Structure formats: structure tokens, C-alpha cells
Amino acid sequence: MRQRMTSPAPRSDKFPMGELEFVVMMASFQALQALAIDVMLPALGAIGTDLHLADPNRRQLIVGVFLICSGLGSLFPGALADRFGRRPVVLTAITSYVLLSMVCAVSASFELLLIARGMMGFVTSAMIVMPMTILRDRFEGDRMARSQSLIAMTFMVVPMIAPMLGQTVLLFAGWRWIFGIMGGLAACVFAWAWTRLPETLHPDFRQPVRFGVIAGNMGLALKERASLGYFLGAAFVQAALFGYINSAQQLVGEHFGAGTMFPVIFGCMALVMACTNFANARIVERFGARRVSHAALLCYIAVGALHLALAMRGEGLWTFLPLMTLSMCMLSFIGSNFQAISLQPFARIAGAAASVMAFVRMVLGATLGSLIGQAYDGTARPIMAAMVICGLIALVLVLYSEGGRLFRRLNPPEYYRNAPPPVGH
């Protein structure tokens, strides 16, 4: 008979940060990753011209390589954090971010830039994994989903301002200065984390750094049916989002003729997504993460199907924008809640579980997203088709995790009823 896993998440009355500072700090870690993607979008054309790229789709690799390597790198920080603690892993990742930003700034060839971007994505993947882990250290259940939504809402400020920041830099300086600004902002976040971030790993939860233990704990996360469908489903939904991000500058800026208004449009869509995350934070504790995310996924598929039908007939910018924005809003309800649900059973191995889930989600999502981006044909049809297909696959995966039933709401003890004990315990 399998042991029941308890969830004595270490919540200290002496935690040095209030909820607002905690949310903003966790959002800042994730936002640095988002900044490394979104701030580059207006500069892709300038980089392609400066580094003599003949194929315009090839410039998408500046984003795609970073995302894929972020996924590959995310397999490691969780296991290291389960042994050495969350704080040293976070600080090391931010330091690497600063140094590699400087390498990107001085790259003399496209190949060197891609290598530096790949290394940057790989070593700074902890900035995506660690907020998930630290949040799981402190909260559980729908309370965790609420906090994750607040973090997502806060970090959505970056997609709002990053493209406009990149466009502004291009008006006064070259694209290399974008990387310098990235490094400077990361240095500020490092100073904040160094002075204010405590260690959140419970001493009793430290895991030995042995391959068998690490692989075993990650294997538990991959075999847990209640989690598997959710983080795989999130990967497919995220793939469609990455496909859009990869081709957004070409699609919106060039095909639909937005031009220099592209950063403003991109930012406005992010603003709407931030508002949706705020709404999710307000309703998720009332209705439950499952009910909210399941309804959002069904709506996402329906909107995608409608948008695909319009794209097949030909559409303009003012048809594309409201439907794409609505789809992005549904992602706000899906992403945070799927993430919280998938981590529920893993209090003692939160780092390993978060790492392997981020690895699968990012590698699968970024690889498929790159393929979707490379399929860009001068219309919105490839991205719309990808959204519908990925949404349907996610629905099947969620049904697998839920035993064929949607819209259930579990009580906290049910999260851990059949959860496996960590390897070595």
C-alpha cells in the first residue's frame, strides 16, 4: 500500500517579506526570462540585417534557441535546490544572466550570438523553476494557484513594456545596447535577492545529490497520473503561444502592417492578460483551479476554431487582434492553474518535480513552437491551426489525469491521498 504524502510546507511567521514583496520578487525572477525574449522582438530585423542573414525566418532562432535551451537547463536546478537550497541556485542563475548578457552584447557573428543565447537560456532556467519551487514551499492547493496568478499578473508587466523598451533603444542606439540593459536590470534583481530572499527549503526535506535519488524523484513526478496530463497539456498549449511569439513580429508588424506600432499592440495584449491573471487570482479560491482551467481550455479551443475559420478566408488586423487577445486571456486561466495542480502531490520533492515538469513543458513547448514559427507562410493560418490542435491535445491529456471527468473540485486531503513517498524516504 502506498504511503500518503503529507504537505508540511514550511511557513514561518518570521518570513521577512510581506505577500506583496514576495509576489513581486518571484515575478521579477520570471520576468528576467520574459525580458530576454520579448525585448528582442523589435530588434530581430535589425539583428538580421547587421549580421547578414539571408533567410528572414532564421532570425526567429534568437528566440527559439533560448527557449529550447531553457527547457533543457530546467532539468537540473530543482534537484540542486532540493539539496543545497533555493537561495544559492537563484543567485547563481542571476549572476550567469548578467555575464552572458554582456557576451551577447559583443557577439560579432550570428553563430556566436546563438551560442551565447543558448548558454544563457540553459544556465538561467532556474529563474523559471525556482519561483515555482519557492511558492510550493510556502503554499498549497488553491492558495498556491491564487499566488501563482498574482505572480503571473505582476510579471506580465514585462511583455507590456519590453517590446516598447527594445523599440526605444533602437531609436537611440544599436541592438547591442538591449543586452546591456538586460544585464543591468538583472544586477538590480540580484542585489534585491541577496539582501531579502531567505532560504525556504525545510531542513527535513533536503535530498541527497545521488543520481539514483534524483532520477527516482523525477520519475515519480513523471509517473503521477494526477500531474502528468496537466504539465503535458500545459506544454502543448504553451507551444502554440511560443509559435505566435516566434512569428509575431513578422505576422503583426509586417503582414498586417502594424510597423512601429507592433510593440504597442504586443504590450496592450499583455496588459489584458495581466488583468485576466488578476481575475483568476480573485476567483480561483472560490471555484477551484480545476473548474476555472477546464472552462478556459474549452473556450480556448472554441475561439481558436473560430479564428482558424476566419484566417482561412483571409482577415485583417482588426479581426485578428480581438480574437488573439481573447485566446491569450484563456491562457492566463490555464497556465497558472495547470501549474499549481501538477505540483500538488510533491511537497517533499518540489524542486525535482518542478524541474522535470519545466523541462518537459519548455523543451516540448519550445521545440514545437519553433516548428510552428518556421511554418509561417505570410498568413495567420499556421498559428491558428496550431492553437486548435494543441488545445485539443491538452484536453485529451487533462481528461486522462481526471479519469474522464472535468470540473471536479478536490479538497486538500485528496491531493495527497495516493501521492508517492520520495525516493530514499
DSSP per position, 302-369: HHHHHHHHHHHH---HHHHHHHHHHHHHHHHHHHHHHHHHHHTT-STTHHHHHHHHHHHHHHHHHHHH
Q: Which residue carries 497558472 as its cell?
A: 336
Distance CA 155, CA 86 (A): 20
Residue 107 φ/ψ region, left for φ over 0, alpha for ψ in the -120 to 50 degree band, beta for the rest: beta
The number of distinct structural domains making up the chain is 1
End-to-end Cα separation, the chain, in angstroms:
15
Distance CA 268, CA 150 (A): 18
- Please check whether residue 164 is in contact with residue 171, taking contact to mean a CB–CB distance below 8 angstroms: no
- Tell me whether residue 2 is in a domain: no
Most confident of the following: 68-72, 106-110, 221-225, 389-393: 389-393
Residue 8 confidence (pLDDT) above 70? no
- Tell me whether residue 297 is in a domain: yes
pLDDT of residue 350: 65
Residue 264 φ/ψ region, left for φ over 0, alpha for ψ in the -120 to 50 degree band, beta for the rest: alpha
Question: Which whole-number Å values give the CA distances from 345 to 215, 247, 261, 391, 404, in the listed order?
Answer: 17, 37, 45, 25, 20
pLDDT of residue 13: 47
pLDDT of residue 205: 72
Per mean pLDDT, which range of 6-10, 179-183, 291-295, 307-311 is the poorest? Answer: 6-10
Residue 4 confidence (pLDDT) above 80? no
pLDDT of residue 303: 94
Mean pLDDT of the chain: 81
Range of the domain at 131: 19-200+211-411
Q: Which three cell numbers stand for residue 76?
A: 537540473
Distance CA 270, CA 298 (A): 21
Q: What is the CATH number of the domain that holds 400?
A: 1.20.1250.20
pLDDT of residue 416: 43
Query: Which DSSP category does 174 fall into?
Result: -
Please give the model's pTM, rounded to 2 decimal places. Answer: 0.67
pLDDT of residue 62: 87
- Tell me whether residue 98 is in a domain: yes
Q: State mean pLDDT over 418-424.
A: 50
- Mapped onto helix, strand or coil, the DSSP state of residue 243 is helix
Residues composing the chain: 425
Burial-class residue 18 by CB neighbours within 10 Å (0-12, 13-18, 19+): exposed
Q: What is the pLDDT of residues 69-119, one digit of tens each?
A: 888 888 788 778 878 888 999 999 999 999 999 999 998 888 999 999 999
Distance CA 136, CA 48 (A): 41
Q: Is 312 or 4 the better-scoring residue by pLDDT?
A: 312
Query: Which DSSP category does 41 fall into?
Result: G
pLDDT of residue 214: 65
- Tell me whether residue 418 is in a domain: no
How many Cβ atoms are within 10 Å of 163's Cβ, its own excluded? 26
- Tell me whether residue 206 is in a domain: no
341: closest CA among 250, 228, 181? 228
- Please check whether residue 236 is in contact with residue 364, taking contact to mean a CB–CB distance below 8 angstroms: yes
- Please check whether residue 44 is in contact with residue 97, taking contact to mean a CB–CB distance below 8 angstroms: no
pLDDT of residue 75: 78
- Tell me whether residue 13 is in a domain: no
pLDDT of residue 44: 84
Q: State mean pLDDT over 264-275.
A: 80
Binned at pLDDT 50, 70 and 90, residue 210 comes out as low
Distance CA 355, CA 71 (A): 9
359: closest CA among 190, 142, 214, 145? 214
pLDDT of residue 415: 46
331: closest CA among 385, 269, 399? 269
Burial-class residue 54 by CB neighbours within 10 Å (0-12, 13-18, 19+): exposed
C-alpha dihedral (179, 182, 183, 187), degrees to nearest 10:
170
Q: What is the pLDDT of residues 229-244, one digit of tens each?
A: 898 998 899 888 888 8
Binned at pLDDT 50, 70 and 90, residue 390 comes out as very high
Binned at pLDDT 50, 70 and 90, residue 10 comes out as very low
- Tell me whether residue 423 is in a domain: no
Binned at pLDDT 50, 70 and 90, residue 155 comes out as low
How many Cβ atoms are within 10 Å of 399's Cβ, its own excluded? 15
pLDDT of residue 187: 95
| Main-chain dihedrals φ then ψ at residue 375, nearest 5 degrees | -80, 0
| Residue % of the chain over a pLDDT of 70 | 86
- Please check whether residue 127 is in contact with residue 90, taking contact to mean a CB–CB distance below 8 angstroms: yes
- Tell me whether residue 424 is in a domain: no
Q: State mean pLDDT over 359-378.
A: 84
pLDDT of residue 208: 65
Binned at pLDDT 50, 70 and 90, residue 213 comes out as low
Q: State mean pLDDT over 159-170.
A: 81
- Please check whether residue 113 is in contact with residue 176, taking contact to mean a CB–CB distance below 8 angstroms: no
- Mapped onto helix, strand or coil, the DSSP state of residue 210 is coil
Q: Is 270 or 73 the better-scoring residue by pLDDT?
A: 73
pLDDT of residue 410: 61
